[in-house]
Amino acid sequence: MNYQLDFTPVIDGLPNLLLGCLGTFLLAVCGMLLAIVIGIGGVILRTSKIKAARWAMIGFVELIRNTPFLVQIFFLYFALPLAGLRLDPTPTAIIALGINGGAYAIEIIRGGVQSISKGQIEAGLALGLHRAQVFRFIVLKPALRAIFPSLTSQFVLLTLSTSIASAISAYELTSVSQRIESESFRSFEVYFTVTAFYLVISWLMMRLFGLFSSRYFAYPVK
């Protein structure tokens, strides 16, 4: 087999690939923000005294964690118009990413909150701290410090999951690469380059999360 490598289509399409990387990054960040909102709200309902709310959250988490993300994004893309809500592919992808990431965030955050002993909370109240201060200084920061590595890994996976959004033609790296490949038929060259881009994106995300952790969650140096 005398296959000749030719990266010319990749080089010509490099501006579009870089814009695709930006699209991937924006999808990931918006999905993460929505996932955090869903995660925190879900934990409040998951730990509430209202039985129906707790069971609703349990059902939501199990539904999302036990169905493929591709099925979820297709369901939203085709179900929302039936409900009278027509969205472009990119907003639909962000909603799907947020829901998927939020289901995992609920369990991660809940584990962090439950890792804080009641004795610490009672001690804070005994010292005269308000409940908001107790939550901020005694519950929230230690809980986030404990769950941050797990949350980071989940959000990196969420970033890579943006590639599935190409199935509904959302603008991101994989959809751009598919367009270049269909026009040039240089599959190896295109997807070799895209693989390198995803590696760089994942590394950058890990670095950003690492810097954030060292800035806000590092233990004080004695």
The model's pLDDT over 121-138, given as tens digits with 9 standing for 90+, comes to 778 778 777 777 777 777
- Of 216 and 25, which is predicted with more confidence? 25
Residues near 187 by beta carbon (within 8 Å), at least 6 away in sequence: 181
pLDDT tens, position by position, 14-44 = 999 999 999 999 999 999 999 999 988 888 8
pLDDT bucket at 177, cuts 50 / 70 / 90: very high
Residue 127 lies in a domain: yes
Residue 17 lies in a domain: no
Host domain of residue 130: 24-174
The count of structural domains within the chain is 1
Residue 194 lies in a domain: no
- Average pLDDT value for residue range 151-159: 90
Residue 16 lies in a domain: no
Residue 116 lies in a domain: yes
Q: How many CB atoms lie within 10 A of CB 53?
A: 15
What is the domain-level CATH number for residue 81? 1.10.3720.10
Residue 155 lies in a domain: yes
Residue 96 lies in a domain: yes
Task: Name which of 167, 152, 153, 159 is nearest 22 in CA terms.
Answer: 159
